[in-house]
Amino acid sequence: MEAWTGREPTRLPDPQGPRAPLRLFDTAAGRVRATQPGPTARMYVCGITPYDATHLGHAATYVAFDLVHRAWLDLGHAVHYVQNVTDVDDPLLERAVATGRDWRELARAETALFAEDMAALDVLPPQDYIGAVESIPSVVGWVRRLEAAGAVYQVDEDRYFDAAGAPGFGSVANLPEAAMRAIFAERGGDPDRPGKRHPLDPLLWQAERPDEPAWDTELGHGRPGWHIECTAIALDHLGMAFDVQGGGSDLAFPHHEMCAAQARVATGRAPFAQHFVHTGMVGYDGHKMSKSRGNLVFVSALRRDGVPPAAIRLALLAHHYRSDWEWTDADLAGATSRLERWRAALALPEGPAAAPVLESVRAALADDLDAPAALAAVDAWVAAALASPGSPTSALDRGAPGEVATALATLLGVHCS
- Count CB-CB contacts under 10 A for residue 386: 14
CA angle 269, 271, 276 (to 5 degrees): 155
pLDDT at 417: 84
Across the range 53-64, mean pLDDT stands at 95
pLDDT of 265 above 60 = yes
pLDDT tens digits along 174-196:
999 999 999 999 999 999 999 99
Angle between helices 309-317 and 56-74 (to 10 degrees): 80
pLDDT of 390 above 70 = no
The rounded distance, in Å, linking the Cα atoms of 13 and 75 is 11
pLDDT tens digits along 96-108:
999 999 999 999 9
The rounded distance, in Å, linking the Cα atoms of 233 and 243 is 15
The rounded distance, in Å, linking the Cα atoms of 253 and 184 is 8
Q: Are 65 and 24 in contact (CB under 8 A)?
A: no
pLDDT tens digits along 343-379:
999 999 999 999 999 999 999 999 999 999 999 999 9
pLDDT at 391: 63
CA angle 17, 364, 246 (to 5 degrees): 115
pLDDT at 289: 72
CA angle 244, 248, 252 (to 5 degrees): 70
The rounded distance, in Å, linking the Cα atoms of 395 and 218 is 72
List, as own/partner pairs, every contact residues 393-398 make where C-beta atoms lie below 8 angstroms and the sequence separation is at least 24, other chains included.
Answer: 393/350, 395/352, 396/350, 396/351, 396/352, 397/350, 397/351, 397/352, 397/353, 397/354, 398/349, 398/350
Query: Over the chain, what is the mean pLDDT?
Result: 95
pLDDT tens digits along 297-330:
999 999 999 999 999 999 999 999 999 999 999 9
List, as own/partner pairs, every contact residues 175-179 make where C-beta atoms lie below 8 angstroms and the sequence separation is at least 24, other chains included.
Answer: 175/253
Amino acid at site 323: S
pLDDT tens digits along 326-352:
999 999 999 999 999 999 999 999 999
Going by C-beta distance under 8 Å and a sequence separation of 6 or more, which residues neighbour residue 74? 9, 12, 362, 410, 411
pLDDT at 345: 97
Angle between helices 56-74 and 355-366 (to 10 degrees): 120
Omega of the bond prior to 54 within 30 degrees of 0, cis?
yes
Which among 201, 202, 224, 227 is positioned nearest to 213, based on CA atoms? Answer: 224
pLDDT at 393: 56
128, 133, 134, 135 alpha-carbon torsion, rounded to 10°: 70
Omega of the bond prior to 271 within 30 degrees of 0, cis?
yes
Higher pLDDT, residue 157 or 393: 157
Across the range 86-92, mean pLDDT stands at 93
Percentage with pLDDT > 70 across the chain = 98
Q: Rounded to the nearest 5°, which phi and psi values hold at 361?
A: -65, -45
Q: Are strands 128-131 and 215-217 parallel, antiparallel or unpaired?
A: unpaired
pLDDT at 392: 60
Percentage with pLDDT > 90 across the chain = 92
Local confidence band at 292 (pLDDT 50, 70, 90 cut-offs): low
Which among 139, 119, 134, 112 is positioned nearest to 48, based on CA atoms? Answer: 112
CA angle 383, 384, 387 (to 5 degrees): 85
Local confidence band at 7 (pLDDT 50, 70, 90 cut-offs): very high
pLDDT of 286 above 90 = no
DSSP summary character for residue 75 = T
Q: Are 126 and 238 in contact (CB under 8 A)?
A: no
The rounded distance, in Å, linking the Cα atoms of 194 and 304 is 49
Coil/strand/helix, residue 302: helix
The rounded distance, in Å, linking the Cα atoms of 385 and 368 is 28
pLDDT tens digits along 62-72:
999 999 999 99
pLDDT of 251 above 60 = yes
The rounded distance, in Å, linking the Cα atoms of 381 and 327 is 27
What is the CA 121 to chain-centroid distance, rounded?
A: 14
